[in-house]
Amino acid sequence: MKPHSGRLWVNYLALGLATACALFGLGLLFLILYDIVSHGLTSLSISLLTQDPAGPLGRGGLKGAFLGQGLLTLMAALVGVPLGVLGGTYLAEYGRDKKFSKVIISLCDLAMSLPSIVIGIFVYSILVKPLGGFNGWAGSAALAVIMVPLVMRTTESMLSMVPWTLREAALALGSPYYQVIIKIVYRQAASGILTGILLAIARVAGETAPLMFTSFNNNYFELNLNRPMPSVTVSIYQYAGSPFDAWIGQAWAAALMVTVVVLFLNILGRLLVKVKKA
Amino acid sequence: MSHEPAEAELKDLITIEELCFFFGDNQVLKNINMPIRDKSITSLIGPSGCGKTTLLRCFNRMHDLYPNNHYEGRIRMENRNILDKGQDLIWLRSRLGMVFQKPTPFPMSIYDNIAYGLKLKKITNRSIVRDLVEKALRQANLWTEVKDRLKESALGLSGGQQQRLSIARSLAVNPLVLLFDEATSALDPISSAKIEEMMVELKKDVTMVVVTHNMQQAARISDYTALMYLGSLVEYGETNDIFTRPKMKMTEQYVAGHFG
Amino acid sequence: MNLKKLPNSIFYFLTFLSAVGLVVLTVGLVVTLAVESRPAFQRFGFFRFLLSTDWNYTDQIYGALRPLTGTVLATLGAAVLAVPVALGISVFLTELCPHKLKSPIAVAIELLAAIPSIIYGLWGLFVLAPFVETYIQPFFSGTLGGLPWAGGFFQVRLAGGLNLLTASMVLAVMILPFVASLAREGFDQVPEVLKESAYGLGATRWETILAVVWPTAQKAVVGGIIMATGRALGETMAVAYVIGNRHGALDSIFSPYVTITSVIANEFNEAGPIQMSALFALTLALFLANLLVLSLARYLMRQK
C-alpha cells in the first residue's frame, strides 16, 4: 500500500469522470449524426432533387427549394465576399493601427455573434416591409449581412499575419500600395482568406431563421428574386411541422443533404489551410 | 526528516548504468555510465542537442508524461532502479525536485506556492507548514525579500525572485536531489549570481544536477562535470580536471570554446 | 502625376467604404429595431411591457416577461447540462487523450458545431422529444414529483414532450461542441512547463489540473463558456419546435413555454401591427442580452 494511495484514488476517480463525460458527449454528438444519416437515407430518393412539391400523399420533391437555396446563397456570396474582403483589407492595411479600425473590429465581433433571427427581422423591416412583400433579394441580403463580418474578420486576421517587411520590400521596388496588396499580400494570404470565405458560405448555406421573414418560401420553382423564393431550410421547417409522414420524410432527407453540403464545405476549408501549411 | 551529516568521502547517491533513451526509433542517449555524488553539484555541459536536458529529465521520469519514448539501462538510487516499470513516480518526483529554465510560479500566493508540495504530502499542521515555508524561503535566499508579502500573488515577483521561489518550492518537500534545467539562463547577471551563491550554500543539504550552457558557471559552482556530445558521455570527472587537465581531445576543444 | 495615384485612391476608397458599410449596417440595425419597437413601448410603457406576463391576441396586449424568462431559463438550463460534459471533454482532450486521437477528435467536435440549427431542431422534435416523453418525464414525476413543495415543478401537466426541459436539452446538445472547443482553447494556453513543474513536485494529473491548469486557464475558460452559452440565447430553429410555444404560467419544467425566438419564429409572419412592434421590442431585448453576454465574455477572456 503506497502512502499516497488515497491521492491516486482521487486522481483516477476524477480523470475517469472526465473521460466518462467525454465519451458521453462525443457519443451523443455522433448519435445525432447517426440519426440524421439513418432517417435521411430512409427517405432519400432522386425525386427529392428532380420533382416539384406535391401534396402530402404524392411523391413530390424540393427541386425549387434546392435551386432557390443555391441562388440565395450565391447572391449573398456575390455581395458579401467582396464587401468583406475589401473591408478586411482596409482594417489590416490602410487603416491598420487606427482607432477607427479597432472600433470596426469590435463591431465585427458583435455582428458575428448576433443571433441570425435578429438579422432576419432587421432585413424584413428594411427590404420586405417597404417593398410590400417577401422577396428573394431580402433573403440574399440577410445572408450577406451574416457573411460580411465573418469574411471581414478572417481577411483582416489573415492579412495581418503577412509580415510587414514583405510589403516594405515590394514598396521599395516602387510598386504602388494597391498593387502590393493585390499582387503580393493577397497572394500570400490567399488560402486563409479562401478558407474564411468557404466557412462563411457554409455558415449561411444552412441558415433558416433569416430566411423565414425575408424570402419566406414558395411552393413553385422560382428564379425571380422579386418574388418569394423557396429554400430547403425553410421547407424543412414547414414540412417537419406538418402531420404528414411523406413531408416529414422529405424533411429528414433534405436535412441530410444540407448537413452533407455544410460539412463538405467545412472540411474543404480546413483542407485548404492544411495543404498550405504542408 | 533531516539528512545525515555529510561524510568526508562523497559517496555515490545515484549511479547511471548503460542508460539509453529513445524518442520513437530515434536514440538520443547512448550507453551513459556515470555517478552522481552525494551533497555535491554535478554539471552537465555540451553543445545544443547533445542530450543533457534529456538525461536530466530521465532522473525524475519527466519523459513519462509524453508518448512514444522508452528507457533502457538503469538509474540506481537508494537500492532501487528509478527506471523500473513499477516505479512510483509520485514518490520519485517528490524526492527529486526540478527547476526549469523559465520560472514557474503557480497562480497562487507566495506562501501557497511553497506550501503546495507540503499539502501534497498531507503535511497540514499550520505551524509546521509555516516553519517549513520559512525554512525553504531562507534556503533559497528569498525570505528577507518576501516575508512581509507572503499572501501576495507569486506572479507579482520579479523574474529572479520567481526563479528562487520555484527553487524554494522544490526545497520545501525536502528532496534528495534538485535538478536544474538551465535555471539561470533566462535571468539577468545579478539574479543569476544570487542563485549560484545559493546553490553553493545548498550543497550541505541537497545533491544537485545542473544542465547549463554557460561553461563559466559550470566551472564556478560544480564539483563534478560531465561533457556530452551527440547523446554520448564524452568525459566525466572532477570539474577542476575537466577544465584544466581533460583526458579527451574533444573535451579540451570544447572547454576552450572551439566548438558548440 | 495625379493620374498615377488614381488607382490607389480608388482602391483605398473601396476598402474604406466597405469597412464603413459594416458600421452603417450595425448602427442601422440598432436604429431599425428601436424605431420599430417604439409603438409597443408607447402603447404599453417601457417597464410595463418588460414586466408584464400578458400575451393576449384578442385584446392586443403584449408583455415581454414570459419570453424573457423563457429565454434566460432555457439558456441557463442548457448551460447547466452542457458545461460539465464540455469541461470533461476539454480536460480529456488536453490532459488525457492519446496524442494521435487529439486532433481528429477536436476537428470532429468543431465540425459538429458547424451543423445548422434547423438540423438539431429536427432531431429534437422527432428523436429527443419522444425520448423525454417516454423516459425522462415519468422518471422525474415519479421521483422528484412527489416532493412536498417543489414537487410540482417536476410533474407532467401537458403530455407530448415539447417543453422547457426538452428545449434546454436541445440547446445543450447544440452548444456542447462550442463550449468544449472554447474551453479546450483556454486549457491549451497553459504552458507545458508550468504543468511539468507541478508534476515535478510529485503531483498527480488531477492535482496538477486543480493547482495549475484550472487557475491559469480559469478566466479564458469561463469567458469561452459564457461566449458559447450566449449562442443559446438567440438560437431559434432548435427551440422553435420543442419549447411548445405556449403563453402560460411556467408551473413545471415539463410545461410548454415560450422564448423570445420561439415567439418570433411562430408568430412574426401572422402578427398584427402592435404585436409585430412587440416582437421587434423582443428582438431588441435579445440584441441587448447578446451584447451583454459578449462583452462579459470578452472582458474575461482578455484578462490575464
Residue of C nearest to B114 (CA): C201
Among chain A residues, CA nearest to C124: A32
pLDDT tens readout for residues C210-239: 999 999 999 999 999 999 999 999 999 989
Question: What distance in Å separates the CA atoms of residue B148 and residue B143, rounded to the nearest whole number?
Answer: 9
Q: Is the pLDDT of residue B5 over 70?
A: no
Is the model's pLDDT at C151 over the cut of 90?
no
Q: What percent of chain A has pLDDT over 90?
A: 73
Instruction: Look at residue A278 and tell me whether its pLDDT is greater than 60.
Output: no
Q: Residue A2: pLDDT above 70?
A: no
Contacts of C210 in chain B (CB under 8 A): none
From chain B, the residues in CB contact with A3 under 8 A are: 91
Boundaries of every domain in chain A: 5-43, 49-277
How much is the pLDDT for B7?
43
ipTM for the whole complex = 0.92
Q: Which own/partner pairs from C125-131 qualify as long-range (CB within 8 Å, at least 24 positions apart)? A: C125/A240, C125/C162, C125/C241, C125/C242, C126/A39, C126/A240, C126/A248, C126/A252, C127/A32, C127/A35, C128/C161, C128/C166, C128/C169, C128/C170, C128/C173, C128/C242, C129/C160, C129/C161, C129/C162, C129/C166, C129/C241, C129/C242, C130/C161, C131/C161
Query: What's the CATH code of the domain at C292?
Result: 1.10.3720.10
Task: Evaluate if residue A277 carries a pLDDT over 80.
Answer: no
Contacting residues of C for A203, CB less than 8 Å apart:
114
Q: Which is more confidently placed, A219 or C9?
A: C9
pLDDT tens-digit profile of A238-250? 999 888 988 999 9
Sheet strands (E) in B49-185: 69-77, 80-81, 96-99, 177-181
**Is A15 an interface residue toward B (CB < 8 Å)?**
no
- pLDDT, mean of residues B151-156: 94
Q: Which of A7, A115, A176 sits opposite C236 (nearest CB)?
A: A115
pLDDT tens-digit map of A13-72: 999 999 999 999 989 988 999 999 999 999 888 888 888 888 777 778 888 899 999 999
Residue C188 maps to a domain: yes
C-alpha cell at B32: 551513459
Q: Let me know: does A61 contact A250? Beta carbons within 8 Å.
A: yes
Give the pLDDT mean for C153-157. 84
Residue-wise pLDDT tens digits, C68-78: 999 999 999 99
The end-to-end CA distance of chain B, in Å, is: 42
pLDDT band at B4 (very low <50, low <70, confident <90, very high): very low
Any domain includes C130: yes
Mean pLDDT of A221-239: 89
Measured between CB atoms, which of B94, B104, B107 is closest to C215? Answer: B107
Within 8 A of C89 by CB-CB distance, chain A residues are 21-22, 25-26
Shortest distance between the Cα of C246 and any Cα of chain A, in A, equals: 16
What local confidence, expressed as pLDDT, does residue A60 receive? 81
Written as one letter, the residue type at A206 is G
**CB-neighbour burial class of residue B151 (10 A; exposed 0-12, middle 13-18, buried 19+):** exposed
Interface test with A, best of C32, C85, C119, C123 (most A CBs within 10 A): C119
How far is Cα C299 from Cα B105, in angstroms, rounded to an integer? 24
- The verdict on residue C43 lying in a domain is no
For residue C66, the one-letter residue type is R
Q: Identify the band that residue B6 occupies on the pLDDT scale cut at 50, 70 and 90.
A: very low
Q: Chain C residue closest to A20 (CA)?
A: C88
pLDDT of B95? 92
**Cβ of residue C148 closer than 8 Å to a chain B Cβ:** no
Residue range C233-279, pLDDT digits in tens? 999 998 998 999 999 888 889 999 999 999 999 999 989 999 999 99
Alpha helix ranges (H) inside chain C: 2-44, 46-51, 65-91, 99-114, 117-123, 129-131, 137-142, 164-188, 192-200, 205-208, 214-233, 237-242, 260-267, 273-302
* B173: chain A residues, CB-CB within 8 Å: none
Domain residues of chain B, as ranges?
12-255
Interface membership of C117 toward B (CB under 8 Å): no
Confidence of residue A223 (pLDDT cuts 50, 70, 90): confident
* Mean pLDDT (whole number) for A86-105: 94
Architecture per CATH, A49-277 = Orthogonal Bundle (1.10)
CATH class of B12-255: alpha beta
Which residues of A fall within a CB distance of 8 Å from B90? 2, 4, 7-8
pLDDT confidence tier of residue A219, bands split at 50, 70 and 90:
confident
- Closest C-alpha among C286, C47, C65, C293 to residue A122: C286
Say if residues C262 and C73 touch (Cβ distance below 8 Å).
no
pLDDT tier, C116 (very low <50, low <70, confident <90, very high otherwise):
very high
pLDDT of residue A59: 74
Per-residue pLDDT tens digits for B190-239: 999 999 999 999 999 999 999 999 999 999 999 999 999 999 999 999 99
**Beta carbons of C116 and A252 less than 8 Å apart:** no
pLDDT of residue A276: 60
| Residue C11 contacts B where some CB pair is shorter than 8 Å | no
Which residue in chain B is spatially nearest to C206 when comparing CA positions?
B120
- Measured between beta carbons, the chain A residues lying within 8 angstroms of C30 are none
Indicate if the pLDDT at residue B8 is higher than 60.
no
Residue of A1, A2, A4 to mutate for B, most B C-beta atoms under 10 A: A4
pLDDT at A154 over 70: yes
Q: Which neighbouring-strand residues pair with B207?
A: B177
A274 in contact with B at a CB cutoff of 8 Å?
no
pLDDT grade for C304, boundaries at 50, 70 and 90: low
CA angle (C37 as vertex; C33, C39 as ends), nearest 5:
150
Q: What average pLDDT does chain A have?
A: 91
pLDDT of A162 reads: 93
Whether A2 has its CB under 8 Å from any CB of chain B: the answer is yes
Query: Is the residue at C78 inside a domain?
Result: yes
- Position C152 scores a pLDDT of 82
| Percent of chain B residues topping a pLDDT of 70 | 95
Residue C23, in any domain of the structure: no
* CB–CB contact B67 C215 (8 Å): no
Residue A7 forms contact with B (CB below 8 Å): yes
**Domain total of chain C:** 1
- Residues of chain B in Cβ contact (below 8 Å) with chain A: 88, 90-91, 120, 122
pLDDT digits (tens, 9 = 90+) for B38-87: 999 999 999 988 999 999 999 999 999 988 899 999 999 988 999 998 88
Q: What pLDDT does A191 receive?
A: 92
Chain B: residues touching C (Cβ < 8 Å): 60, 62, 65-68, 89-94, 97-98, 100-102, 104, 106-108, 116-117, 120-121, 166, 169-170, 173
pLDDT, tens digit, 9 for 90 and up, residues A96-134: 889 999 999 999 999 999 999 999 999 999 999 999 899
Contact B98 C203 (CB under 8 A): no
This prediction has a pTM of 0.89
Mean pLDDT, residues A180-201: 94
